[in-house]
């Protein structure tokens, strides 16, 4: 009985509570690792918001072994599946590219590549911070429907024929449009933080991630992007991680 309360599928409720991803929840339920109000839960169970959900320690142990990897993606690699002859960034996650400045001391193992997927995209011609994770909780935090995670970029631009001191030539009214007032794919964009970092480079902070968003925003105000680098996602920064190398997200780090 649910006493008239709105119910939802157990896997969805577990994801909402931050316990795991929906896919992970289904795996745990199928293994008999999840109890609802003291009873082993069947697949597809509908639960009330106040249902008592308990997870077996085996599931927690499995989760602790999952890794999240921070990669400084070079140009020429795609974020996800291989396309048009270009390799996916995950091919760089191998022992020889593990940054020797990684403070976690986690040892690389091939099992860490299983289910390792990008949590967000970074264009083939962009560089910088790319997150790959086995942890559905991290993926949901970064790219879930309700995610408003800040992502910070340094963007080198030209304006018409102007390549030096672009800031001086670029109208302040157009900078205001970049901050708020543009639309993509028929949808108004959320407000963005856009400021000059130096006379040829803008700093963007976005809370959404439409395909090629910054390049398309710039096109609408007459700017051409000649270099784009992501330097921060939430509270995690690229820092001194070298191009083409990667490190683990530390236990104490939070997006």
Tens digits of residue pLDDT in 149-202: 999 999 999 999 999 999 999 999 999 999 999 999 999 999 999 999 999 999
- Catalytic residue IDs: 123
Give just the sign of the alpha carbon dihedral 116, 120, 124, 125: negative
CATH 1.10.1740.10 fits 8-63, yes or no: no
Q: How far apart are CA 234 and CA 254, in angstroms?
A: 8
All CATH 3.10.290.10 domain ranges of the chain, comma separated, are 8-63
Residue 247 pLDDT grade (very low, low, confident, very high; cuts 50, 70, 90): very high
Alpha carbon 199 to its chain's center = 29
The two tokens of residue 189 are 């964009």
Q: What is the DSSP letter of 249?
A: P
Q: Which helix (DSSP H) or strand (DSSP E) does residue 205 occupy? A: strand 201-206
Whether the per-residue pLDDT at 128 is higher than 50: the answer is yes
pLDDT of residue 241 exceeding 80: yes
Q: Are 153 and 229 in contact (CB under 8 A)?
A: yes
According to the model, what pLDDT value does residue 4 have?
A: 53
Residue 93 has pLDDT above 70, yes or no: yes
| CATH class of the domain whose range is 65-147+235-248 | alpha beta
Report the first-to-last Cα separation within the chain, whole angstroms.
38
The Cα 56–Cα 74 span in angstroms is: 41
Q: What is the chain's alpha carbon radius of gyration, rounded to the nearest angstrom?
A: 21
Mean pLDDT of the chain: 91
**Rounded percentage of the chain residues whose pLDDT exceeds 70:** 97
* Domain boundaries 151-233, CATH class: alpha beta
For the beta sheet containing 34-36, the strands, ordered from the edge strand earlier in sequence to the opposite edge, are: 39-40, 34-36, 53-55
- What pLDDT shows up at residue 1? 43
- Provide the pLDDT for residue 151: 96
Kindly report which listed range (52-61, 91-100, 109-118, 208-217) carries the lowest average pLDDT score.
Answer: 52-61
Cβ contact 122:73 at 8 Å: yes
Instruction: Give 221-225 contacts, CB < 8 A, sequence gap 24+.
Output: 221/174, 221/175, 221/177, 221/178, 221/182, 222/159, 222/160, 222/174, 223/157, 223/158, 223/159, 223/166, 223/170, 224/157, 224/158, 224/159, 225/155, 225/156, 225/157
Burial class (CB in 10 A: 0-12, 13-18, 19+), 126: buried
Every domain range in the chain assigned CATH 3.30.70.1560 = 151-233
pLDDT at 211: 87
From CA 11, how far away is CA 15, in angstroms rounded? Answer: 6
Residue 122 pLDDT > 90: yes
The pLDDT of residue 2: 46
């Amino acid at each position: 009985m649910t006493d008239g309360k709105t119910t939802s599928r157990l896997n969805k409720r577990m994801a909402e509570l931050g316990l795991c991803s929906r896919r992970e929840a289904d795996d745990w339920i199928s293994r008999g690792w999840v109890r609802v109000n003291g009873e082993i839960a069947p697949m597809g169970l509908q639960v009330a918001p106040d249902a008592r959900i308990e997870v077996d320690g085996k599931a927690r142990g499995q989760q602790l072994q999952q890794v999240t990897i921070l990669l400084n993606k070079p140009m020429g690699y795609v974020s996800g599946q291989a396309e048009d002859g270009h390799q996916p960034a995950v091919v760089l996650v191998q022992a020889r590219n593990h940054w020797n400045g990684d403070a976690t001391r986690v040892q690389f193992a091939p099992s860490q590549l299983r289910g390792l997927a990008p949590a967000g995209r970074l264009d083939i011609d962009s560089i910088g911070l790319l997150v790959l994770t086995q942890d559905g909780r991290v993926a949901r935090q970064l790219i879930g429907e309700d995610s408003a995670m800040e992502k910070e970029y340094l963007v080198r631009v030209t304006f018409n024929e102007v390549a030096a001191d672009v800031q001086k030539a670029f109208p302040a009214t157009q900078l205001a449009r970049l901050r708020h007032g543009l639309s993509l794919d028929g949808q108004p964009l959320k407000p963005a933080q856009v400021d000059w970092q130096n006379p040829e480079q803008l700093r963007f902070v976005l809370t959404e991630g439409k395909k090629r968003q910054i390049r398309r925003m710039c096109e609408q105000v007459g700017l051409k992007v000649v270099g784009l680098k992501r330097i921060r996602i939430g509270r995690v920064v690229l820092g001194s991680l070298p191009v083409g190398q990667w490190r683990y997200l530390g236990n104490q780090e939070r997006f």
